[in-house]
Amino acid sequence: MITHTVTKTIKEETVIESLQIMIDALPVLLQGMWLTVLITVISLAIALVIGLVLGIFSITQNKILRGISTFYVDAIRGTPILVQILFIYFGLPAATDLSLNAFTAGIIAISINAGAYLVEIFRAGINSIDKGQMEAGRTLGFSYGETMRLIILPQAVKRMIPAIVNQFIVSIKDTSILSVIGIAELTMSGQSIYANNFRAFEILFMVGVLYFVIVYSLTLFARWLERRLDVA
């Protein structure tokens, strides 16, 4: 009976100690979480511009523009993001006079990588709109650009929302690789903590929970947005 009581007490103390470790680590992890979200938001904003421009290039009749879009997508999707990060942070400065800090290099890498996937998302979204819409716009006297901006894209974007949100989620997870160039995002923040206290289980559990909070919150927002816009 005494042994059972002692064992129970030890387990309770262990749980309390683990909870205290996680609570103590929370401020640093939240800072890393904020940096993760900041990098992802900036990167995705840039990637959306890349995706839109090259997505339109991919469906034009101009072979040169289509070739640029195809080469970009194939080159980025055909190489690991880790290689892209290291190339931008270490490779480019070694070959040129360009000097990039880790934060800037990380944003460029995530933007370029996400942009390649968004090109395909925009291409598929635009192609999903009936070709008669473009013909109708041109018949009304709109230019190609005006028809695309006023008629095609508003409809296509609604259909692209689930895929764009999914890419946002992928990019959030990809930021964890930025730890290799020393960016103190969420994963690196966790590594720095358990390297000092040797409590990897508790710290990595909290890192996983915080990633889940970000992703699940974004998923709920996406579902709400789809219902709001009545995405087909």
Tell me the pLDDT tens digit for each residue of 164-208: 888 999 999 899 899 888 887 888 888 888 888 778 888 899 999
**pLDDT score at 231:** 52
**pLDDT score at 20:** 86
pLDDT tens figures, 15-32: 788 888 888 888 999 999
Q: What is the pLDDT confidence band of residue 60, given thresholds at 50, 70 and 90?
A: confident
**222-228-231-232 Cα dihedral, nearest 10 degrees:** 130
* Choice between 230 and 147, residue whose per-residue pLDDT is larger: 147
pLDDT tens figures, 168-178: 999 998 998 99
Mean pLDDT of the chain: 86
Query: What residue type is 4 in one-letter code?
Result: H
Closest to 103 (Cα-Cα) out of 188, 194, 208:
188
Q: What is the pLDDT confidence band of residue 8, given thresholds at 50, 70 and 90?
A: low
H runs (alpha helix) in 58-139: 63-77, 81-86, 92-95, 102-127, 131-139
**pLDDT score at 183:** 85
Architecture of domain 32-229: Orthogonal Bundle (1.10)
* Choice between 142 and 90, residue whose per-residue pLDDT is larger: 90
Task: Please answer whether residues 190 and 207 qualify as being in contact, where contact means their C-beta atoms are separated by less than 8 angstroms.
Answer: yes
How much is the pTM? 0.85
Measured CA to CA, the distance from residue 232 to residue 220 in angstroms comes to 17
